[in-house]
Amino acid sequence: MIKFFKRIRQNLVTENKTSKYFKYAIGEIVLVVIGILIALQINNWNEKRINSNKETAVLANIHKEFMKNKKQLDSVVGTHKKVHRSCNEIINLFPIRSKPEPKVLDSLSVWLWDSYGGVTFNPSQTSINALASTSSFNIIKNDTLRDLLISWNDLITDYQEEEERSRDHIWDVYDPYFSKHFDWNMNFKDERNNFDALQTLEFEFLVKSRYDFNDQILYSSGELQIVQKTLDKIIELTQLKNN
């Protein structure tokens, strides 16, 4: 093809057809420019197709991972609510003036056991960490989804601070008190249990603190609601892409 155009140019020069030569040269330049533009457009299409395929794969992974995270969070929240309810039941018995009757004591044993809790939400973040490590968040076209994914780590860190404070309270204060007075699994049939410990102000304060810590996690701070809303939105947006 190049030889063909070259031969035409040589013939025009030889025949001294300058006007036609310039017209031809301009036409040739236009064809070359058009060819370049077409090549660039094809390359652009290919790049968009590759990125689109990558985005689809990434969103599928995120959706699958966050569905598992939602299941884990629901389980963790369920445990926090059990702690919250159990502490509330114990608080309703205050003040305990003497050893409770057997029926109440059996319930109290269960409530005290369930008042421990201490679970934490530790979501899988492999897909987000992979995007962060390769600076690939721009592959996500949806601005809302991209912003949610970028902010996810900070959001989880803020929420986990509430759970960590509650867990520290258990092992630093709550458990040491009960370990001095009661059987390790709250078996109140053990004669070594010190039921006088149920009548102290310290006991009431510790149970109320457990209640407050879990109330903070579940309701007061509002961090949990933000996490749940964000998690659900990420699942929704990635599901729409998958469909």
> Six-digit token pair at 210?
């457990």
Instruction: Report d(CA 13, CA 35) in Å as an integer.
Output: 25
Hey, what are 111's tokens?
């409530």
Within 68-179, strands assigned E span none
CA gyration radius, the chain: 35
Task: For the full predicted model, state whether its pTM sits above 0.75.
Answer: yes
Q: What does the DSSP 8-state code read for residue 140?
A: -
Residue 49 has a pLDDT of 60
Report pLDDT digits (tens) over 146-157. 999 999 999 999
pLDDT value at residue 189: 87
Question: Cα separation of 6 and 90, whole Å?
Answer: 97
Question: Who's near 212: CB < 8 A, 6+ residues apart?
Answer: none
**Quick check: bond before 95 cis, omega within 30?**
yes
| pLDDT tens-digit readout, 35-89 | 666 666 655 665 666 556 788 889 999 999 999 999 999 999 999 999 999 999 9
Neighbours of 69 (CB within 10 A): 22
Would you place residue 239 in the very low, low, confident or very high pLDDT band (cuts 50, 70, 90)? Answer: confident
Task: Note whether 214 and 117 are within 8 A (CB).
Answer: yes
